[in-house]
Amino acid sequence: MSTTTTTVTAVSPKLGSKKRLPPEVGILLVLFGISAFFEVLGWFLVDQSFLGNMARLQIIILQVSVIGIIAVGVTQVIITGGIDLSSGSVVAMSGMIAATFAQNSAWPKVIFPALTDLPFLVPLAVGLGVGALAGFINGWLITKTKIPPFIATLGMMVSARGIARWYTDGSPVSGFTESFAMLGNGLDRWMPVVIFLLVAAFFHVMMRYTRFGKFTYAIGANPQAARVSGINIETHLIKVYVIAGLLAGLAAMVAIARIKTAQAGMGLMYELDAIAAAVIGGVSLSGGRGRITGTVIGALILGVMLSGFTFLRVDAYYQDIIKGVIIVVAVVVDMHRQSKRSKKT
């Protein structure tokens, strides 16, 4: 049939062979730059090394871990073109509920006296379950009632916080079993970091190398196209929100096990830190673009900044002001980079 077919050549063959640098390289350089910045200022202002202090580095990465675990889930939600404002409150809710199953009998203020000294798997399962349920409700509301993710998760944010307070009338829960406390202090105190890195590695592979991950990107990039490609958008979105809720629950377990107490006010504004980590890490709020590795680096940048300003004895008020500026600058730089890229062709 085909004799002399005309061909469509708009892309030069060279373009195909040119390997692009992964987008994380830029963010990684920013991380190094900020660290170096604090190192140099440290010498001059407080006469100490910023990076040469192992204890400080451990605190940075421990602090980052809880937000990081949440951010891995939030990243997936944002890639679908959604948003999850509820993660901070879900941390409090699942933390409070799970904590009441993690108490030891020696503690004077046991909530359920019949349910003490349970194996750590019970509170862990309860915490993950509560988180997943919250995520399921988010996903169900978004897909079945078609309300925007912003509204659905805003509702969950307010209600989950309310449940966390109502559950014990506002009193904190402490006195955990040894085995449960290991979740936050085990492996020579590195347990939160280990959990964070395992979670990040698992979902990195999932996003990059499984159909599940490809569907997540496809839905964020063009829901209509995803639908005609045969993807069941509703089911998939619910799964993504369940993962986000589950990871918020896991973050709550790590957090309460580490500080050995749960209180209804915990996790305040964690959702915004998680979103900030994702956005600094190059995840596009319009969906379809972003990587778990970027989010991990984004979370580290936030942690280094927080620690760095404390190290330089900068007032906490300034820290927040600067943090806000950094988030906006990160997005501006990212948008600029993307528009430059599309103009090239």
Partner 1 sequence: MVSALQVDTVSSGNRVPQSGQSEYVLEVVNARKEFPGVVALDDVSLRIRPGTVHALMGENGAGKSTLMKIIAGIYQPDGGEIRLRGEPVTLETPLAAQEAGIAMIHQELLLMNQMTVAENIWIRREPLNKFGLVDHAEMHRMTAELFDRLNIHLDPEAEISELSVANRQMVEIAKAVSFNSDVLIMDEPTSAITEKEVAHLFEIIRDLRAKGIGIVYITHKMNELFEIADEFSVFRDGHYIGTHLSSEVTRDDIIRMMVGREITQMFPKEEVELGDVVMSVKNLTLEGVFHDISFDLRQGEILGFAGLVGSGRSNVAEALFGVTPATSGTIEIEGKPVEIKTSHDAIKLGMAFLTEDRKETGCFLPLDIQENAQVAVIHDDFVSNGFVNESKLVDACIEMCKKLRVKTPNMHECIENLSGGNQQKVLIARWLLTNPKILILDEPTRGIDVGAKAEIHSLITQLAHNGVAVIMISSEMPEVLGMSDRIVVMHEGHATGILDRSEADQVKIMDLAAQ
Interface residues toward partner 1, by CB under 8 A: 1-2, 5-11, 13, 15-16, 205, 209-211, 214-215, 217-218, 220-222, 224-232, 284, 288-289, 341-342, 344-345
Residue number, 237 or 257, with CB nearest to partner 1: 237
Torsion region of 175: left, alpha or beta (phi above 0 gives left; psi -120 to 50 gives alpha): left
For 317-343, what is the HEC assignment?
A: HHHHHHHHHHHHHHHHHHHHHHHHHHH
Residue number, 58 or 229, with CB nearest to partner 1: 229
In the complex, the smallest distance separating the C-beta of residue 106 from partner 1, rounded to whole angstroms, is: 47
H runs (alpha helix) in 42-177? 54-79, 87-99, 121-144, 149-167
3-state secondary structure of 191: helix
In the complex, the smallest distance separating the C-beta of residue 17 from partner 1, rounded to whole angstroms, is: 9
In the complex, the smallest distance separating the C-beta of residue 209 from partner 1, rounded to whole angstroms, is: 4
In the complex, the smallest distance separating the C-beta of residue 80 from partner 1, rounded to whole angstroms, is: 12
- Contact predicate 199/69, CB 8 Å: yes
Residue number, 157 or 283, with CB nearest to partner 1: 283
In the complex, the smallest distance separating the C-beta of residue 84 from partner 1, rounded to whole angstroms, is: 20
Q: Which two tokens stand for residue 276?
A: 């900030």
Residue number, 43 or 209, with CB nearest to partner 1: 209
Residue number, 89 or 216, with CB nearest to partner 1: 216
In the complex, the smallest distance separating the C-beta of residue 237 from partner 1, rounded to whole angstroms, is: 16
Question: Per-residue DSSP letters for 86-114?
Answer: -HHHHHHHHHHHHHTTSB-TTSTT-SSGG
Smallest Cα–Cα separation from 175: which of 128, 131, 126, 112? Answer: 112
What DSSP element (H or E) covers 256?
A: helix 233-259
Interatomic CA distance for residues 252 and 128, integer angstroms: 9
Residue number, 17 or 188, with CB nearest to partner 1: 17
What DSSP element (H or E) covers 219?
A: helix 211-221
In the complex, the smallest distance separating the C-beta of residue 244 from partner 1, rounded to whole angstroms, is: 20
Residue number, 23 or 192, with CB nearest to partner 1: 23
